[in-house]
Amino acid sequence: ARAVQGEGGFPEAEITLGTRHELGVSWLVPQLDRLAKKYPTLHTHLYFGSGPDLVLRVRTMEIDCAVTSTRFTDPKIHELRLQREDYVFVGAPSLLAKTPFRKPEHATSHTLLDISAELPLFRYLRDAGVDLRFAGVVRLGTIAAIRARALAGAGVAVLPLYFVTADLQKNALARVLPKTAPAHDYFRLIFRADDPRRVVYEGLAKAFSEEPLK
């Protein structure tokens, strides 16, 4: 019990941390060496999955914890806030030159790219008070696939700002309706409320909160 509570130093622990592929590769994996130096008694494994899948696997004890921005309501799962996640509504300049999108009513001439039928990314624009009607919706499963199709001019999409900052700087993507900012969210470290290793997750959260999203 004293080890779990962190008395006498950070406890020894072996955990499986869930994350979505894009965030894991760009942000979590580069931190593993720093994490090992900071907490040498912590042994970390990774599991890659989608947002709802990560929440489910934490709930069913298949993984110990996960980093996700997926919204959920479950008193049996606790969360520690890590980093703010901002979003942008974007499209390829070539697409926007051919088919303008300067007003909300122009949405009827465009295809929306999103992850699933629930439109979890477009939700951030809707939460900002914008409710658009599109010509169609294409579901692509991951934000990496959405970004690729948006770069190809296949449609418009709401994407995490950190994920497309370089594309915006290179003018490979452009903001749509730039005066309307989508709502923001937060990445969280989630774990079961009955897990006695809270001090471990607090250490993880502290380490992850020190590194900007990329």
Residue 3 predicted with pLDDT over 60: no
pLDDT tens digits, residue range 121-156?
999 999 998 889 999 999 999 999 999 999 999 999
Q: What is the percentage of the chain residues whose pLDDT exceeds 90?
A: 81
Q: Which pTM value belongs to this model?
A: 0.84
pLDDT at residue 71, as a whole number: 78
Among the listed ranges 48-52, 163-167, 176-180, which one has the minimum average pLDDT value? 48-52
CA angle 123, 183, 128 (to 5 degrees): 75
State the Cα–Cα distance between residues 13 and 103, nearest whole angstrom. 53
What is the distance, to the nearest Å, from the Cα of residue 126 to the centroid of all Cα atoms in its chain?
18
pLDDT tens digits, residue range 83-98?
999 999 999 999 999 9
Residue 25 predicted with pLDDT over 80: yes
pLDDT at residue 7, as a whole number: 54
Mean pLDDT of 40-69: 93
Helix then strand count (H, E) for the chain reads: 8, 10
Mean pLDDT of 168-180: 96
DSSP string, 51-84: HHHHHHHHHTTSSSEEEE------TTEEEEEEEE
